[in-house]
Amino acid sequence: MSKIRAAIAGGTGYTGGELFRILLNHPEVEIVAATTTSSEGTPVTSVHRDLIGETDLCFGKELNDPDVIFLCLGHGISRQFVDTHEIKPECRIIDLGNDFRLDGDYAGRNFVYGLCESAKDDVRKAKNVANPGCFATAIQLATLPLAAAGLIKDEIHVTAITGSTGAGKKPGETTHFSYRNDNISIYKLFTHQHLAEIKQNLHRVGGVECTVNFVPLRGDFARGIFASVYTRAAEGMTQEDYQKLYEEYYAASPFVFHSKEGISMKEVANTNKALVHVELHDGYVHIASAIDNLVKGAAGQAVQNMNLMFGLPEDTGLHLKPSAF
């Protein structure tokens, strides 16, 4: 079989850089185009300096007849891209923004919500996928087993912290080094944009309307998300019951693992893995969840979706070396 021809739109940011790093080493993919409005004609390596010696690709305007396009554009720009580019009907699209997560019907295309652990069969059949948000991924991986088992009986409470790369590459008052270093702060308290997709997908999986009280934190590190999630425990459920529930739910997942010991963000950084840890305390079930926001929370999950869409094993090209220190 010939290699999958992939184009990356908006490849100058953090997520685009992660896609380059993964796809350049994917055994079944050839990157045929990288489009941008800001760096046209410049080598990819002039933006992503760590790729020197890995590629001679330059940013340009042409898509070069791809089989799949990854949209790594600013939120709200993906619809504009679809409107202004001639894309063959058979070309698959994976959007890493939020344009199609809540309403997947657009311009004759239907975008499936691409959280593999809740919609693997749908993704396999999809022509278009809306990649979940990074916080949304971490929080849903902590709660999907509860939703699927009908065990969400009360409000869900979440406090989660993210690295500075989650805010994008363009510097701002709360993203530059002098602000983030040795600092933690709250933002978008109870109003984060990922809440809507979390509640919509938990309803799809478990048929439950639930309240998610979410406190997002800016962390003083570059990459990763650590989420602390708890809700009222179901009557009669023991800690062993919950552990078994999570282990069974993720038994077929190549990337999500339940740990009986406490977890940390360092254990998933630079990988497509997610770790969850569940405990029962005084009538509440607590779930810790950890992912890399740029990999499992963005580019890695997009490649996982691509693998499923093209009939490949979903872990192809995604066994990435973790960083312990």
Closest residue by Cα to residue 128 from 104, 152, 92 = 92
CA 102 to chain CA centroid, nearest Å: 15
The secondary structure of 272-314 as a DSSP string is S-EEEEEEEETTEEEEEEEE-TTIIIIIHHHHHHHHHHTTS-T
Distances (CA, A) of 314 to 25, 123, 168: 15, 11, 27
**Cα(216)–Cα(192) distance, integer angstroms:** 8
**Cα(219)–Cα(265) distance, integer angstroms:** 12
Place of tokens 């055994």: 27
- To the nearest 10°, report the CA torsion of 20, 22, 26, 32: -10
Active site annotation includes 91: no
Name the catalytic one among 72, 116, 134, 210.
Answer: 134
Distances (CA, A) of 317 to 22, 27, 28, 302, 320: 7, 6, 8, 12, 8
For residue 264, what are the β-bridge partners? none
Give me the active site residues, please.
Answer: 134
